[in-house]
């Protein structure tokens, strides 16, 4: 006897829906699982069920049909394993070469990644807990190597004269 279809649906509550939800995962993702073609970042949530977000960039997977196939298979494997997964907010990121994989290879990779992610979420390693990075600062704009040139030209005060109003003289 099979479970009712609704138990395995991929409804809105199982999706990351807005930029703030994605940003929360990108800023703090203590649980990770990776393969050469994919990276899954995740963080525990308080909802009692996992949620999925997908980032399949055109930069890494040029063909739209390949991007759609990857998303479809990622959603399908997630949908079928959702009841075994730890309650996490997970984001799947495609890397170069992901579009070259066929349907069976994608399903095998995603099933392995979901199991690994679940295992790491349930049994966090001490070094994994220590590696939680603080949120990244926004990246600056401008060309590489074009730092603020004025900072190098400003004179520095000696620690002895800082804040006293006295200037050191050479004579």
- In a domain? residue 86: yes
Asked if the structure places residue 137 within a domain, the reply is no
Q: Which has the minimum average pLDDT: 16-30, 49-63, 128-142? A: 128-142
Confidence of residue 130 (pLDDT cuts 50, 70, 90): very low
Inside any domain, residue 152: no
Q: Is the pLDDT of residue 39 over 90?
A: yes
Residue 3 resides in a domain: no
Say yes or no to pLDDT of 83 above 50.
yes
* Number of compact structural domains in the chain: 1
Q: Is the pLDDT of residue 66 over 90?
A: yes
Q: Could you report the per-residue pLDDT of 110-123, keeping only the tens digit for each?
A: 999 999 999 999 88
Locus of tokens 């079928």: 80
Q: What is the CATH number of the domain that holds 108?
A: 3.30.230.10
In terms of average pLDDT, the best of 1-15, 65-79, 131-145 is: 65-79
CB atoms within 10 A of CB 42: 26
CA–CA separation, 84 and 87 (whole Å): 9
Give the confidence band of 151 by pLDDT, cuts at 50, 70, 90.
very low
| Residues 75, 79, 85, 91, Cα dihedral to 10° | 20
Residue 144 lies in a domain: no
User: Which whole number is the average pLDDT over 88-107?
Assistant: 94
Average pLDDT of 6-18?
75
Percent of the chain with pLDDT over 70: 67
**Taking residues 50-55, what's their average pLDDT?**
94
Whether this prediction's pTM lies above 0.75 is answered by no
Residue 73 counted as domain residue:
yes
- Angstrom CA distances, 10 to 41, 81, 135, 162, stand at 19, 11, 30, 63
- In-domain check, residue 80: yes
Residue 60 lies in a domain: yes
Average pLDDT of the chain is: 79
Mean per-residue pLDDT, 35-59: 93
Start-to-end CA distance of the chain, whole Å, equals 97
Dist. CA 81–CA 76, nearest whole Å: 9
- What is the residue range of 88's domain? 15-125
pLDDT at 144: 52
């Amino acid at each position: 006897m099979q479970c009712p279809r609704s138990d395995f649906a991929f409804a809105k509550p199982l999706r990351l829906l807005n930029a703030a939800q994605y940003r929360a995962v990108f800023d703090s993702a203590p649980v990770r699982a990776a393969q050469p073609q994919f990276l899954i970042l995740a963080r525990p949530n308080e909802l009692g069920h996992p949620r999925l977000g997908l980032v399949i960039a055109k930069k890494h997977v040029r063909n739209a049909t390949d991007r759609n196939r990857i998303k479809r298979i990622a959603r399908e494997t997630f949908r079928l394993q959702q009841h075994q997964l730890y309650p996490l907010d997970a984001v799947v990121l495609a890397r170069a070469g992901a579009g070259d994989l066929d349907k069976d290879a994608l399903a095998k990779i995603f099933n392995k990644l979901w199991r690994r992610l679940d295992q790491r979420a349930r049994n966090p390693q001490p070094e994994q807990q220590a590696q939680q990075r603080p949120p990244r600062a926004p990246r600056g704009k401008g060309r590489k190597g074009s730092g603020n040139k004025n900072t190098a030209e400003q004179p520095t005060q000696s620690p002895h004269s800082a804040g006293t109003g006295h200037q050191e003289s050479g004579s």
